């Protein structure tokens, strides 16, 4: 045994320790309600990465991969990732608003831009405003952060 893992009922690894002193028997339930499982190998991962990327699958009676977390608003339910889509859209709106703020200067009448650049900036800003609505209308296609349809920012912004 390499580590002693303490597993929640969802399969999430809450913590893991090196075996020291009196080692709890595998399968023991702690007063906190965590089940003890021995971790024989971290499969080349650091312990932190193992805890982050693995869970205990009680059906398989083994540690298994969670797969990639779709986005920062996803939580592990014990067998898959759940996306809190309203919270995710709020997160995207915050990022979008920051991009709008960084491009506000382009809309000032005496901004040092050509008319073509001002028009391009206006199109970029409108695309930023529209994208959250596009995402909200079709949430299944925008679960992962790499799926966010960020408009291409003009190089002078």
Q: What is the mean pLDDT of residues 68-87?
A: 88
pLDDT at 140: 84
Residue 80 banded pLDDT, cuts 50, 70, 90: confident
Beta bridge partners of 12: 55
Confidence check: pLDDT of 145 > 90: no
Q: What is the mean pLDDT of residues 90-117?
A: 93
Q: What is the mean pLDDT of residues 30-59?
A: 92
What is the distance between the alpha carbons of residues 55 and 12, in angstroms, rounded to a whole number? 5
Q: What is the mean pLDDT of residues 6-29?
A: 91
pLDDT at 1: 60
Q: What is the mean pLDDT of residues 65-89?
A: 89
Query: What average pLDDT is seen over the chain?
Result: 91
Residue 77 banded pLDDT, cuts 50, 70, 90: confident
pLDDT at 105: 94
What is the distance between the alpha carbons of residues 96 and 38, in angstroms, rounded to a whole number? 45
């Amino acid at each position: 045994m390499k580590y002693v893992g303490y597993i929640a009922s969802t399969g999430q690894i809450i913590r893991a320790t090196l075996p020291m002193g009196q080692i709890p028997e595998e399968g023991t339930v702690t007063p906190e309600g965590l089940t003890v499982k021995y971790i024989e190998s971290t499969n080349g991962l650091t312990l932190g990465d193992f805890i982050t990327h693995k869970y205990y699958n009680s059906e398989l009676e083994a540690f298994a991969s969670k797969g990639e977390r779709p986005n920062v608003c996803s939580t592990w339910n014990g067998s898959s990732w759940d996306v809190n889509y309203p919270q995710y859209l709020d997160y995207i709106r915050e990022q979008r608003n920051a991009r709008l703020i960084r491009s506000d200067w382009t809309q000032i009448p005496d901004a040092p831009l050509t008319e073509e650049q001002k028009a391009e900036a206006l199109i970029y800003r409108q695309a930023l405003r529209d994208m959250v609505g596009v995402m909200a209308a079709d949430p299944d296609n925008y679960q992962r952060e790499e799926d966010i349809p960020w408009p291409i920012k003009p190089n002078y912004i």
